[in-house]
Chains A and B, each alone.
Chain A
């Protein structure tokens, strides 16, 4: 096994400040919070792609810059290097035949063009993706969207380009849940928020004067479980429906009610409870409230996640410091799976079950580590000192996590190979505990 530590941001650091426009949050207590995404390290072998501003048929200015959104998405992935607008040699739109030779000379490997057509109450968006060296159309289609879903349409186009060229499903049209904190000492306001994967359109799901922790997405992408301390004497786990806005308290026993994680079938939560005297892992049936104890150790057992529908991975300090263990979801003997260093905790598993990301503590601080479950390869991906709460993108290509920058909580994202990283911050307060949504369609 080897440890590869990410080098300091590469010499040609890409500093693209995206999303400087003001966003009005749904919550009344926010005025204008701005989420900024900064790409702190770009990919070395990014694919050059020319993305031409989409044609607009509708009068006035187009409501969204579709090409700009697609371009920012692809750039953030680290896999692509979109042309600067000034370097585009022509402005073809849907229906135009590309001059392949010219684009090849300009250095483009792929070309994306499109158009937006306004009709009575909707927009028709179409695009075409061309392979320049093979001189052919790779994909293209059109769809109708409303004002509210124009950005989603752009993210979907980015997903399409990503999958067409790389053969990997894109995760641009997904969301991120996170907890934000504003205010000082006793006047704090905690919010559980949802934003698009590019940090845009943040909306509060829950506001509370007391801490909110550990958001976990159900596989349906609609329900979110979390821990709330709104009752000062006892924590509780809630399940909230993001579409209806309704929520249900699913458990609040004496002691700890923590670390909820949805089963792959969306009917149960793995949770940490200590009402029997010591924190252990339980499985809670969300519908009938029945619990079943999975671990029984005199040590701290917590932070269980599902590796698949048969297996849980959790944190335990039964051997001294916290380490990750695996246990059948039906109970039974737990097996230790991390051995590097004396602090490995808070696991998250990629959707394909192949990789685990977790918090790795060492003399220099707390970073995000990964473990390839098949090969046993252990890697340290980040060089922060207070990094925590890793969460995989649903396509397993990036890991979002909480970090600290200039005394304030921010979110970072890093590619699975450590080659690309970016940070996301809220200008009005700290952000923490990101959880990337599953694919929802």
Chain B
């Protein structure tokens, strides 16, 4: 469907367009903003925290198995992890100064924001189970990164199964 207009209206259009012309400010003006660098090491899978922690601290003596894996699109705990969660629950309940951060993650499939929500649901599953064993909510902090921080960046089931996880990260500072 072609549209043609008469020359007289074309002239009017020319005036209208040349009046606004090409706005010079449109192509410029974006100034990069640098975020201050993160001073603490970035921990994406909890491994860094494990090795850096003083073994005599609360964090250092916590149970070593700190990654819980999930099924695709699920936030329910797989039965085989019940024992590990029980160990963490008992440990945190007995050490009320201990603080743990629960980082929820998903695989790359599905949308990013939905995965943020799914990762949070996974972290909250772990938080609820710990609290059932007497851990105080003040000892726990949940954060979800969705699919943003994969352990394995390959696009296959093996990688995906490693990425669907909650990392239990014992925070180094002990508040008392």
Is residue A361 contacting chain B, with contact meaning CB distance below 8 A? yes
Contacts of B118 in A (CB 8 A): 300
Known: A211-B149, A361-B110. A143 touches B35 (CB 8 A): no
Interface size for chain B: under 10, 10 to 19, 20 to 34, or 35 or more residues? Answer: 35 or more
Contacts of A145 in B (CB 8 A): 21-22, 24
* Chain B residue at smallest Cβ distance from A407: B155
Q: Mark A367-404, 1 if CB is under 8 A from B, else 0.
A: 00000000000000000001011000000000000001
Q: Are the C-beta atoms of B27 and A148 separated by less than 8 Å?
A: yes
Is residue B25 contacting chain A, with contact meaning CB distance below 8 A? yes
Q: Are the C-beta atoms of B148 and A228 separated by less than 8 Å?
A: no
User: CA of A27 to CA of B34 in the docked complex: distance in angstroms?
Assistant: 10
Is residue A353 contacting chain B, with contact meaning CB distance below 8 A? no
Shortest CB-to-CB span from A7 to chain B, Å, is: 24
Known: A153-B22, A209-B38, A255-B142. A140 touches B32 (CB 8 A): no
Contacts of A365 in B (CB 8 A): 109
Is residue B90 contacting chain A, with contact meaning CB distance below 8 A? no
User: CA of A210 to CA of B38 in the docked complex: distance in angstroms?
Assistant: 9
Q: Are the C-beta atoms of B30 and A194 separated by less than 8 Å?
A: yes
Q: Are the C-beta atoms of B21 and A144 separated by less than 8 Å?
A: yes
Please choose the segment from A164-172, A288-296, A412-420 that sits at the chain B interface, where 4 or more of its residues have CB less than 8 A away: A164-172
Shortest CB-to-CB span from B15 to chain A, Å, is: 8
Known: A201-B27, A210-B42. A131 touches B4 (CB 8 A): yes
* B-contacting residues, A131-164, CB 8 Å: 131, 134, 136-146, 148-149, 151-153, 156, 160, 164
Residue pairs across A and B with CB atoms within 8 Å: the count is 200
* A-contacting residues, B9-59, CB 8 Å: 10, 13-14, 17-18, 20-35, 37-38, 40-44, 48
Is residue A346 contacting chain B, with contact meaning CB distance below 8 A? yes
Shortest CB-to-CB span from B173 to chain A, Å, is: 13
* B-contacting residues, A307-331, CB 8 Å: 315, 317, 321-322
Q: Are the C-beta atoms of A228 and B35 separated by less than 8 Å?
A: yes
Is residue A234 contacting chain B, with contact meaning CB distance below 8 A? yes
Is residue A26 contacting chain B, with contact meaning CB distance below 8 A? yes
Contacts of B28 in A (CB 8 A): 148
Interface size for chain A: under 10, 10 to 19, 20 to 34, or 35 or more residues? Answer: 35 or more
Q: Are the C-beta atoms of A433 and B10 separated by less than 8 Å?
A: no
Q: Are the C-beta atoms of A279 and B117 separated by less than 8 Å?
A: yes
Q: Are the C-beta atoms of A26 and B111 separated by less than 8 Å?
A: no
Contacts of B111 in A (CB 8 A): 303, 315, 322, 345-346, 359, 388-389
Shortest CB-to-CB span from B49 to chain A, Å, is: 12
Is residue B1 contacting chain A, with contact meaning CB distance below 8 A? yes
Is residue B85 contacting chain A, with contact meaning CB distance below 8 A? no
Q: Are the C-beta atoms of A322 and B114 separated by less than 8 Å?
A: yes
Contacts of A366 in B (CB 8 A): 109-110
Known: A141-B14, A256-B117. A213 touches B112 (CB 8 A): yes
User: CA of A185 to CA of B47 in the docked complex: distance in angstroms?
Assistant: 13
* A-contacting residues, B49-74, CB 8 Å: 73
Is residue B170 contacting chain A, with contact meaning CB distance below 8 A? no
* Chain B residue at smallest Cβ distance from A243: B29
User: CA of A76 to CA of B120 in the docked complex: distance in angstroms?
Assistant: 40
Q: Are the C-beta atoms of B120 and A205 separated by less than 8 Å?
A: no
Shortest CB-to-CB span from A415 to chain B, Å, is: 16
Please give 4 more A-B residue pairs, beta carbons under 8 A apart, in addition to A143-B22, A343-B110: A156-B22, A201-B27, A209-B35, A258-B116
A-B contact pairs, 9 of them (CB 8 A): A142-B18, A152-B23, A209-B37, A234-B143, A242-B30, A245-B31, A272-B117, A345-B110, A346-B113
Residues of B whose CB lies within 8 Å of any CB of A are 1-5, 7, 10, 13-14, 17-18, 20-35, 37-38, 40-44, 48, 73, 101, 108-114, 116-118, 120-121, 141-145, 148-149, 154-155
